[in-house]
Amino acid sequence: MPNNNVIVSLRDVVAGYLTTGKGWRSLFKHVNVVLKNVNLRICDGERVTIIGESGSGKTTLLKVILGLLKPVRGEVKVLDKEIYKLPWGERVSVLRQVGYVPQDPYKALNPKLRVKTIISEPLEHMSIKPREIEERVYEVIKMVQLSNKVLDKYPNELSGGMMQRVLIARSIIHDPEILILDEPTSALDVSIQAQIIELINSIHKRLELAILAVTHDLGVAQYLSDRAIILYKGSIVEEGYIDEVITRPRHEYTNLLIASYQVFK
Amino acid sequence: MVLAVRARNLRVGYVDEDENILWAVKGVSFEVNQGEVFCLVGESGCGKSTIGNTIIGILPPYAVTDGELHVFGKPVVRGNHRDYSGIRGRIVSYVPQNPGTSLNPYQTIGTQLYYVLNSVYGWDKKKSLEVAKKYLSLVELDPEETVDRYPHELSGGMQQRAAIAIALSTGAKIVVADEPTSALDAHLRLQLIKLLMKLKESESLTLVMITHDLVAAGKICDSVAVVYAGEILEKCSGSNVIVEPLHPYTQMLADAVPLLGFKRRLKSIPGEPPRPDEEVTGCVFAPRCHLAFEKCVEPPPHFKVYKGEVACWRYAGNAKQ
Amino acid sequence: MPLSLNYLTKRIVWIFLVIIGVVVFSYTAIIISPGDPAVKWAGNPRGPNASLAIELARKELGLDKPPLIQVLKFVADVFTGNIGLSIAYKIPVFEVILRRLVATLELLLISYLIAIPLGVFLGIESALHRNGKLDTFLQSLGTVLANTPTFWVGAWLFLTLILLGAYPYGRVDPKIATATGFHPITGFYLIDALVEGNLIVFVNILSKIISPAIAIAIYPIGVLVRLTRALVSDALLEDYIRASVAWGVSRSVIIWRYALKAITPGLVQVIGLAFSYSLVDAMAVEYVVFGREGLGSLLIDSLNYGDFRLAVGLIIIVAVFYLLVNTLTDIIQALIDPKVRL
Amino acid sequence: MSAVISDSRKSPNSSVKGLYQNLTRRYLRRTKFKIGLVITLVVLVLALVSPWVVPYPDEGAGYVPPEASQREKEPPSLRFFFGTDTRGRDLFSRVIMGVRSAVIQITTVISLSLLIGLLAGVLAAYFKGVVEIILNYLVELFISIPAVIIALVLRLALGPGLMTVIASLVTTWWSWYARITYVYARSVMEMDYVTLARLSGLSPLKIMTRHVMRNVLTPVLVQAVTDMGSVLLEASTINFLGLGLPLNSPEWGVIMLEGLSVLEIAPWISAYPGFFLLVTALGFSLVGDTLREEIDPRLRRRWRLWF
């Protein structure tokens, strides 16, 4: 099903943050490397999950892909354009092909804006007529199974599940090529979690866009992806089809992940 | 068999600024035998933590209680009167959810242990330190190293183990653990569960676990109570809460949990749990239950079924009253 | 908490830069404001040798040189400590200021010795009886005190002393001072009196300092009663307090050990701010109401004599005072809170 | 302070309009707010109508009628409610007219300082880097020079007048609001909705107005209301030291200065203006406190010690 043109590709990416050292070393800054030469390719229409726990560097990896963190070394391409070589203006026009759903819905929705403004924000400066934007908003609201009544509400009047749906609606309104989700289910309860997984998969089928989900939960990854990538301490330790990774893990850390999941079996 | 904890129609609510009471726990009754691992399972906002806090005795001041709660026979909650003297620390102890904020950032681990032991038993610094070192090594922490360290200098796993050391140092017989694993990574979670089980045996504790993870509850606990919207829908043994759930809600929860290895269709439960301020008549789960029928309009009593208790009219027929 | 060399060097360089900023600001205030800067700098003299004084001032300010050189020269003058003689006192500006600063500081320290323990204790009591009668009373008292004009209270205290027949002027009664041979060395009269073992003068000085100290203490007491209660209430909501209660830690330990230590960083920060704010209150009250020699008297003299040099000197000294107090509060906070690593 | 910053879970009401909706239901129940509101309203009304309400409007404004010299320093009586001042003018008129100058001083100082402070704070938080360092430097510089000392220099340069008071107060208060805004704005910048807006290609100006300013405005405005009391006190200190408005002008600080020299024989001259000053400052800070409790959810819980 996934044809072969690549949407996101990372080659030998090394990334990290500037920090000050301790004691006398604090006089000058050095880069605390988090990602160690990561190679990653995501093709059109493919469903990929990155599985990693806190400290594995999965958030840093997302930031690099989203053009928010320039890597120390390596090449990052989105739709075959080297985004870190482009100035911010052009980079944003490339990133318009990317839909992004952050992790904590409470931090991702401006409490002073109504849902309608939040959802229509990506279309704002795309020289589209207001009537058309209105139409598009109703379309995506229906797609994420929310009633139109929600549009006039403020974020703190919504439940956790509804907030996540609003964020997903916002991320697909400008018809991106790929949808990137950071821990889409971790802030939700089990019953709502299943609803969101269903929603993401239905969007994947209907809009034929690639899915890149980051999660620490192997079980969720199983339902959200064809291919899985295990990230441990900044480097990819295993990659492959999700079923193979679960049934025949190669790397010792993957064993540990499965064991700690199985212990409750 | 002495009952460690016994609750009779316990109700707990919070008063908001406009003086009306939001009942988080709408009348629960359960019993925990000594030496048993009892587990309260439920999704966020269902009131399981409130029940836990009521047993421990750290309900916020704007809380209101009703019904009865006994710890080793001593009445702790009677109506809105609560008396935890002699219970806190000495009998019931607490393993916090996220260790990072549950240790005093301004004192070293050793000093905190000293204050706990000094308050509970009145021991001086020397004796407290001795006991402290014993318990720190019990939780696999190097006593010499940890005693003089501040909490922020320890890793997440070490902080959690330090909190457990403090909780056990008072020699408490009942330990209430509120989501002990949710703030930890996978392998730390594994070690912590093993540690808790080992301590339960060696110190002959009664463990009250509070978690949202149905699968974990099933595996670790002897008996499980499923909590939903402030009520206990089902009480059964740990082993068959996943395999043979009684209440439709537990059944749906079990189906919604992704299991490793085989891909079955995830059945999601439509709708959202009721908000605490919504008045609910009849069975709390009725609006979201696909098996609801006309009887569900009245609140179902707890039917005793051979494997446990369940509050659902479908069991009216074959249950012994 | 290691007080790393890095923080100290950075802080000293930062203070140095801010002082230069203050000096440049005061210099521009003279130049930009209407009127010929030289005349102002010479204290717009009249009389025979007025033009001579103005010429001298023009040279002192270096008005003939390009603006940048002027500013640099002025900054250099400030840092070498001689920006000319005070027009009112005819002795170097900084010398006049430093001698008076000590008097105001003494008054400020006495008033804060009263304000801090009283304010914090009442705040904690208020938090312990939260929403009870005592709490509402203390909190409303705090709000009123924090909004009371210092010089108004000063006037009332001064009036009551007069009606009681006391003589509240000045820092020490000259008659008693000369009679007992009191000659201060440091400028902190109370300490000087103790050093000399001269108890009569000590009592006299104390009696004169108490009423202005109370007037100045009103504001910090009000602020601290309300702030301590808020900080204690917040501290008692923390997770580790709930956990400690669950573990059986006694109530007194939780309040007087855990909560008190938790609120200290917050308290220290606000006390530092209030202390700097009260310096101005002290200047307003000490001379105009109580006739005590201090920075307040310099303020009035500078106004009456049109003494620009004294005014600029005052700006610089007070700014340095603020910066040192802020640095001190940062350091104390870091010493208490192990998490803060400077 | 940053606890107040709103991710959508915390802010109890989602817009400034929301603040007014429950004005009646929750606020007016609190005596603290009722007292504060009554004082503030009376002060605002008096500021508008004082010249027409006062028995001797021209004396209030500072004019000394010829016959005033016979009635200097008279105690309060039916004819002169607050008695007369050192030049024989009716003190009641002067004090009531003083309300207007108090309100003028507060509103101009607060609005100017807020304007500069909000802009500087938001710009510094958004653009980080050099702008941030420059702002922190300027803030620390202007915060460390008290308004009274600047008033001295300006008084020497510009002479007495309202300009001196306003200019000296604005020079320090703008940096206070710049600092508060900067702290709030920085925690807003950490929020994901700002990252999302940047990724959607919104212009910096639009992000600053729609996301940053909107979330920062409520806490800073509430702080401004609470600060009105201290601004008034500082302004009257400046006038009391003779650094601000000229003698005879209807300002409480000035009247108290005049009354100081005759304190023993005519204490009422200093007493009444000081009392009005206290009550006005109290009114503002009572209102500000209630608003602040309203937006910081943690403070709202009414409880007593529980262990």
Domains and CATH numbers, chain D: 95-306 (1.10.3720.10)
Higher pLDDT, A102 or B253: A102
How many C-beta neighbours within 10 Å does residue D9 have? 16
Chain C environment of B93 (Cβ under 8 Å): 246-248
Q: How far is CA A185 from CA A102, A163, A216, B88, in A?
A: 11, 12, 10, 36
Q: How far is CA A160 from CA A165, A185, A196, in A?
A: 9, 10, 11
Contact D282 C300 (CB under 8 A): no
CB-facing half-sphere around the CA of C203: CA atoms within 13 A: 4
**Nearest-CA distance from D141 to chain C in Å?**
6
> What is the per-residue pLDDT across C151-182, written as a single tens digit (0 to 9) for each?
999 999 999 988 888 877 888 888 888 888 77
**Residue D306's pLDDT band (boundaries 50, 70, 90)?**
low
> What is the per-residue pLDDT across B224-243, written as a single tens digit (0 to 9) for each?
998 988 888 888 888 777 77
Question: Does C60 have pLDDT greater than 80?
Answer: no
**Which among A41, A21, A39 is positioned nearest to A31, based on CA atoms?**
A21
HEC letters along C86-105: CCCCCCEHHHHHHHHHHHHH
Question: Does D12 have pLDDT greater than 60?
Answer: no
Selected for mutation to probe chain B from A145, A165, A189 (highest B CB count within 10 Å) is: A189
Put simply, whether the predicted model's pTM sits higher than 0.80 gets the answer yes
> What is the per-residue pLDDT across D127-153, written as a single tens digit (0 to 9) for each?
988 999 999 999 989 988 899 999 998
Total count of domains within chain B: 1
Q: What are phi and psi of D45, to 5 degrees?
A: -65, -50
Chain C environment of A27 (Cβ under 8 Å): 6
Residue A74 is classified by DSSP as: E
How many C-beta neighbours within 10 Å does residue D130 have? 9
Total count of domains within chain A: 1
Crossing angle, helix D252-260 and helix C150-163, to 10 degrees? 20
Amino acid D3: pLDDT: 43
Chain A environment of B221 (Cβ under 8 Å): none
Domain containing A250 — which CATH number? 3.40.50.300
Using an 8 Å Cβ cutoff, are A96 and A174 in contact? yes
D199 touches chain A (CB under 8 A): yes
Using an 8 Å Cβ cutoff, are D226 and D37 in contact? no
Q: What is the mean pLDDT of residues A27-48?
A: 84
**Ramachandran area for residue B89 (φ above 0: left; ψ -120 to 50: alpha; else beta):** left
C13 touches chain A (CB under 8 A): no
Closest residue of chain A to C9, computed from CA coordinates: A27
Q: How far is CA B134 from CA B110, B147, B158, B191, B258, in A?
A: 12, 11, 16, 20, 41
Out of B94, B101, B106, whose CB is closest to C247? B94
Out of D14, D196, D202, whose CB is closest to A154? D14
Using an 8 Å Cβ cutoff, are D133 and D283 in contact? no
Out of B17, B60, B61, whose CB is closest to D26? B17
Q: How far is CA C2 from CA B151, B196, C262, C329, C342, in A?
A: 17, 37, 19, 16, 7
Query: For chain D, what percent of residues have pLDDT higher than 90?
Result: 49
Question: Does C150 have pLDDT greater than 80?
Answer: yes
Closest residue of chain A to C8, computed from CA coordinates: A27
Amino acid C178: pLDDT: 82
Contact B61 D305 (CB under 8 A): yes
> What is the per-residue pLDDT across C229-264, written as a single tens digit (0 to 9) for each?
989 888 888 889 989 988 988 888 998 889 888 899
Q: How far is CA D217 from the centre of its chain?
A: 16
Q: Where are the alpha helices (DSSP H) in B92-223?
A: 99-102, 109-121, 125-138, 143-147, 156-169, 186-202, 214-220
**Residues paired with D129 in a beta bridge:** none
Residue A236 falls within a domain, yes or no? yes
CA distance C93 to C310: 6
> What is the per-residue pLDDT across A115-149, written as a single tens digit (0 to 9) for each?
999 999 998 877 888 899 999 999 999 999 999 99
Selected for mutation to probe chain A from C6, C11, C13 (highest A CB count within 10 Å) is: C6
Range of the domain at A173: 46-70+98-262
D27 CB contacts (<8 Å, ≥6 apart)? D33, D290, D294
CA distance A225 to B303: 42
Tokens encoding A145:
């199974």
CA distance B312 to B303: 8
A129 touches chain D (CB under 8 A): no
Q: What is the mean pLDDT of residues C97-118?
A: 92
Helices (H) and strands (E) in chain C — how many of each?
15, 0
Amino acid D113: pLDDT: 96
**Residue C32's pLDDT band (boundaries 50, 70, 90)?**
confident
Higher pLDDT, C84 or D299: C84
Strands, DSSP E only, in chain B?
3-15, 21-33, 37-41, 63-71, 74-78, 81-82, 92-95, 174-178, 206-211, 223-228, 231-237, 303-305, 308-310
Selected for mutation to probe chain A from D192, D203, D205, D216 (highest A CB count within 10 Å) is: D192
In this structure, are strands A47-51 and A227-232 parallel, antiparallel, or unpaired? parallel
CA distance B162 to B102: 10
Residues 21-80, chain B: which have Cβ within 8 Å of D? 58-62
Higher pLDDT, B157 or D239: D239
Selected for mutation to probe chain D from A156, A157, A159, A182 (highest D CB count within 10 Å) is: A156
Question: Does C71 have pLDDT greater than 80?
Answer: yes
Domain containing B73 — which CATH number? 3.40.50.300
Residue A33 falls within a domain, yes or no? no
Amino acid C27: pLDDT: 83
**Ramachandran area for residue A156 (φ above 0: left; ψ -120 to 50: alpha; else beta):** alpha
Q: Compute, in degrees rounded to 10, the torsion defined by CA atoms D170, D171, D177, D179.
A: 180
Residue B49 falls within a domain, yes or no? yes
Amino acid D26: pLDDT: 65
Question: Does A263 have pLDDT greater than 70?
Answer: no
Chain C environment of D136 (Cβ under 8 Å): none
Question: Does D230 have pLDDT greater than 80?
Answer: yes
Q: Which long-range contacts (CB under 8 A, 24 or more apart) does C61-64 make?
A: C61/C30, C61/C37, C63/C37, C63/C38
Residue B238 falls within a domain, yes or no? yes
Higher pLDDT, D48 or C67: D48
**Which among B96, B207, A15, D307 is positioned nearest to C236, based on CA atoms?**
D307
Chain D environment of C254 (Cβ under 8 Å): 307
What DSSP line would sit under C257-307, residue for residue? IIIHHHHHHHHHHHHHHHHHHHHHHHHHHHTTTT---SHHHHHHHHHHHT-
In what side-by-side order are the strands of the sheet with B174-178? Answer: B92-95, B174-178, B206-211, B37-41, B223-228, B231-237, B308-310, B303-305
Higher pLDDT, D213 or B19: D213
Amino acid B318: pLDDT: 62
Residue B281 falls within a domain, yes or no? no
Tokens encoding D105:
């001083």
Higher pLDDT, C42 or B80: B80
Amino acid A181: pLDDT: 94
Out of C35, C156, C322, whose CB is closest to D157? C35
Lowest model confidence (mean pLDDT) among A80-84, B239-243, C8-12, D50-54? B239-243
C6 touches chain A (CB under 8 A): yes
In what side-by-side order are the strands of the sheet with B81-82? Answer: B21-33, B3-15, B63-71, B74-78, B81-82
Average pLDDT, chain C: 86
CA distance B102 to B112: 11
Collapsed DSSP state (helix, strand, coil) of residue A14: strand
Q: What are phi and psi of A53, to 5 degrees?
A: -95, 180
Crossing angle, helix C295-305 and helix C308-336, to 10 degrees? 150
Residue B293 falls within a domain, yes or no? no
Residue A85 falls within a domain, yes or no? no
**Which among A60, A68, A67 is positioned nearest to A34, based on CA atoms?**
A60
Amino acid D7: pLDDT: 54
Q: What is the mean pLDDT of residues A232-254?
A: 87
Using an 8 Å Cβ cutoff, are B21 and B36 in contact? no
Q: What are phi and psi of B129, to 5 degrees?
A: -65, -40
**Nearest-CA distance from B51 to chain A in Å?**
19
Q: What is the mean pLDDT of residues C310-327?
A: 90
Amino acid C267: pLDDT: 92
Residue B292 falls within a domain, yes or no? no
Amino acid D197: pLDDT: 93
Residue B270 is classified by DSSP as: P
Amino acid A219: pLDDT: 84
Question: Does C339 have pLDDT greater than 90?
Answer: no
In this structure, are strands B37-41 and B206-211 parallel, antiparallel, or unpaired? parallel
**Most confident of the ranges A179-183, B145-149, D21-25:** A179-183
Amino acid A1: pLDDT: 40
> What is the per-residue pLDDT across D278-294, written as a single tens digit (0 to 9) for each?
999 999 999 998 888 87
Using an 8 Å Cβ cutoff, are D43 and D50 in contact? no
Out of C239, C250, C337, whose CB is closest to B102? C239
> What is the per-residue pLDDT across B287-310, written as a single tens digit (0 to 9) for each?
888 777 888 888 888 888 777 888
CA distance B217 to B235: 12
Range of the domain at B194: 3-91+172-263
D187 touches chain A (CB under 8 A): no
Amino acid B60: pLDDT: 82
How many C-beta neighbours within 10 Å does residue A129 have? 8
